[in-house]
Amino acid sequence: MDKLKVKSYAKINLALDVKGKRDDGYHFVEMVLQSIDLYDKLEFEMCDDIVLECDREDVPTDRSNLIIKAADLLKREFGGYGIRIRLKKNIPIAAGLAGGSSNAAATLVALNKLWNLNIKLPILKDLAASLGADVPFCIEGGTKVASGIGDVLQDLETPHLRLLIVKPSVSVSTKDVYTEYDNLAFIENNYTKNMIDAIRSGSIIDICMRLGNDLERVTIRNYPIIGDIKKMMVERGALGTLMSGSGPTVFGIFDDSAKLDFAYNSFVADGFYAYISNTIDKGIELYE
């Protein structure tokens, strides 16, 4: 085998609690992470060097990209070959949807297979954690409780949710959001614990009522448009709505297809990026 194609799926946060800060700058968190069916496509083909190509000019293709970092890491630690990687980008950039992390996860899995490295999953997830807190989750995807820095994962049954993803035309620095959050008074919200109970109840109403994200305190204050989108989401029929990750993307949960279509068309008409999505139980997928 000298070629491989992979879909790398985006994620949202159904809940996010910030629990504290470590000495190394990472934060202790508790989250409920959920894969959705919005994905990037990556094509891998053996060659003499490690090369990344992308259909988007605003995506760096040098060694600052997590894809290249993942490939370099595997080659350095386990040996390997060259690889040409072609990335078709669909997941918005700097959006709180873990697009870069899912690309890195896809790269680890694909090269483990193409280069015949035979790295076991626990070791592969340890490597993933060294690249970023969301990368271990993106290898498996689905619905998981994440703790530690986001790398300690526990399975949950995937709820079947219909979603509208909306992103304003702003980009948010995750590092800056956490830095500013550290200056706020600590509040114990327990969003994650409540969301676990809601998912286990099987009630979409319970899930919508228990959505929560500590980082909204920072990002919505700095970018009021996010709060406006959440308000519009409810006015247009969403049962519940939340900012994903550090933002700025907002998702709404719908149980009525007509309202979902109306909301989608309304946000598009207002000039926003919008995407109708579903929850899924995987993080990456090989395809032909």
Cβ atoms of residues 30 and 153 within 8 Å:
no
C-alpha R_g of the chain? 19
69: annotated active-site residue: no
Question: Which of these is catalytic: 17, 40, 134, 214?
Answer: 134
Q: Is 11 a catalytic residue?
A: yes
CA distance 179 to 103: 25
Closest by CA to 33, choosing from 139, 121, 169, 124, is: 139
| H-helix segments, 142-274 | 174-181, 191-201, 204-209, 216-222, 224-235, 257-269
Of the candidates 7, 11, 125, 144, the residue annotated as catalytic is: 11
Listed in sequence order, the DSSP H helices in 33-98 are 66-78
Catalytic residue numbers read 11, 134
